[in-house]
Amino acid sequence: MNKVTNYISEAFEELKSNVTWPTWEEVQKLTIVVAVFSVIIALATWGIDTVFGKAIAGFFNWIKG
C-alpha cells in the first residue's frame, strides 16, 4: 500500500512542478475548437451513414425486384 501512496504523491508533485498548464483563455479557445470539430465530424459521419444507408437500401430493393 505504501508504494501506491508514494506513486500518487509523486504524480501530484510532478503535476504541480513540471507540467506547463495552459491559461484560461487558451482552454476556452481550444474547447471551442474541439466542440466545432466534433460537430463537423458528427455531421460528416451522419451524412456518410445516410448516403450508404440509402445506397444499401436501394441495392436490396433492386435485388428484390
Q: CA torsion sign, 58 to 62 to 64 to 65?
A: positive
Please tell me the predicted confidence (pLDDT) of residue 1: 81
| pLDDT tier for residue 65 given thresholds of 50, 70 and 90 | confident
Integer Cα distance of 41 and 50 in angstroms: 14
Quick: pLDDT tens for 3-55: 999 999 999 999 999 999 999 999 999 999 999 999 999 999 999 999 999 99
